[in-house]
């Protein structure tokens, strides 16, 4: 249970309110937003570090950036109802979406300040990360692993080739494909997917993780 409800009201108060009364000059969510942004980033970094023990720093950084992107935070904040909770002046007619993402970060800052890191982490993972993100899908978004491994082969004068084939149909009679990626004469990665393209992407991602730095 929240211990200091005033913190949460502050987290939901936009800075435009500060000018409404002299007493409310410092009562807005900017400072809590700053804190919440740092806590959110730390929790996501820790979660990804545990989920992907074999992945390098570049991969982890890209995944974290996708999760905490301004667009994602704005969309999630609206889905969570922050657009109905943020306190704005009555005169505000048009509101920029980023206000809601900022409020979500400030809310995280309020949880951390009120109840500590453990509760903030619980909120981030249980209410944001798990309900709104499919990590497997997120990996493939804007990530053409096949092109990356081909470019690596060209740069390093290594022959890269793919083999794909249909393995079997699942219970819904949907085909399942397997793919292997060969660098020179050695298998560098394997993958499976519902399409040949998806299987090749998974194989290429595995190969990229195994490449020498």
Chain center to CA of 21: 38
Q: Strands 186-193 and 175-183: what pairing? A: antiparallel
Identify whether the C-beta of residue 54 lies closer than 8 Å to the C-beta of residue 209.
Answer: yes
Annotated active-site residue 75? The verdict is: no
Q: Which two tokens stand for residue 131?
A: 């309900």
Residue 162 φ/ψ, nearest 5 degrees: -120, 145
Which residue of the set 33, 105, 114, 139 is catalytic? 105
Which residue of the set 33, 37, 114, 139 is catalytic? 37
| Sequence-ordered strand ranges (E) for 88-184 | 160-169, 175-183
| Sequence-ordered strand ranges (E) for the chain | 160-169, 175-183, 186-193
Q: Which two tokens stand for residue 140?
A: 């493939």
Q: How many CA atoms lie within 13 A of 154 on its CB side?
A: 6
Annotated active-site residue 105? The verdict is: yes
Residues designated as active site? 37, 105
């Amino acid at each position: 249970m929240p211990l200091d409800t005033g913190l949460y009201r502050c987290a939901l108060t936009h800075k435009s309110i500060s000018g409404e009364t002299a007493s409310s000059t410092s009562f807005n969510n900017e400072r809590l937003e700053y804190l919440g942004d740092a806590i959110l980033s730390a929790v996501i970094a820790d979660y990804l570090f545990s989920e992907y023990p074999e992945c390098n720093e570049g991969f982890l950084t890209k995944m974290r950036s996708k999760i905490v992107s301004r667009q994602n935070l704005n969309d999630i904040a609206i889905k969570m109802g922050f657009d109905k909770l943020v306190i704005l002046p009555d005169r505000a007619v048009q509101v920029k979406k980023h206000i809601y993402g900022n409020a979500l970060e400030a809310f995280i800052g309020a949880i951390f300040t009120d109840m500590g890191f453990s509760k903030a982490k619980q909120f981030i993972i249980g209410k944001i990360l798990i309900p709104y993100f499919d990590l497997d899908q997120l990996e493939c978004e804007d990530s053409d692993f096949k092109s990356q491994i081909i470019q690596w082969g060209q740069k390093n004068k290594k022959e890269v080739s793919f083999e794909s084939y249909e393995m079997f149909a699942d219970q819904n009679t949907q085909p399942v494909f397997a793919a292997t990626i060969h660098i020179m004469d050695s298998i560098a990665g394997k993958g499976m997917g519902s399409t040949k393209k998806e299987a090749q992407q998974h194989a290429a991602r595995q190969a990229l993780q195994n490449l020498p730095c």
